Amino acid sequence: MRGGERFKAEVELYPAVLKLFAGRRQVFGEVPYENKRVDLVFSSLQFRYLWAVELKLCKWRVALKQAALNQVFANLSYVALPIYIVERLGESELAIFRRHAVGLLFCVTF
């Protein structure tokens, strides 16, 4: 993709997130949990540490709720969004991520 283009599907965010977590030994996609699926889960080799990532193209509040729930099983939980969504978030929205101890990742197009 060229700069300025929009992501058309959540799966287009996967390469950026996979690259960011490249040092993790295990990666799982669409992991069933409760009545939903976690987009990506990374683990250490012995499964002693888990990272959960929810990817969304626009509904960041839905992703935040999912990521907060993922903290039940994951050591760290993140939301990955396109950069053009993250740039629209104000300080009050970013404070919600901090308050719920959910990390925020952004993905760019090229």
Residue 3 covered by a domain:
no
Task: Kindly indicate the confidence band of residue 72, based on its pLDDT and cuts at 50, 70 and 90.
Answer: very high
Question: Which range (22-26, 34-38, 50-54) has the least confidence?
Answer: 22-26
Residue 90 covered by a domain:
yes
Number of domains within the chain: 1
Query: CATH code at 29?
Result: 3.40.1350.60
% pLDDT > 90, the chain: 57
How do residues 85-110 score in pLDDT, each as one tens digit?
999 999 999 999 999 999 999 988 65
Q: Give all strands (DSSP E) within the chain, no chain letters.
A: 26-33, 36-43, 50-55, 76-82, 103-107
More confident residue, 35 or 101: 101
Q: Which of 99, 98, 96, 103 is nearest to 81 (CA)?
A: 103
Decide: helix, strand or coil at residue 7.
Answer: coil
Report the relative pairing of strands 36-43 and 76-82 from DSSP bridges. unpaired
How do residues 55-71 score in pLDDT, each as one tens digit?
999 899 999 999 999 99
Range of the domain at 40: 10-107
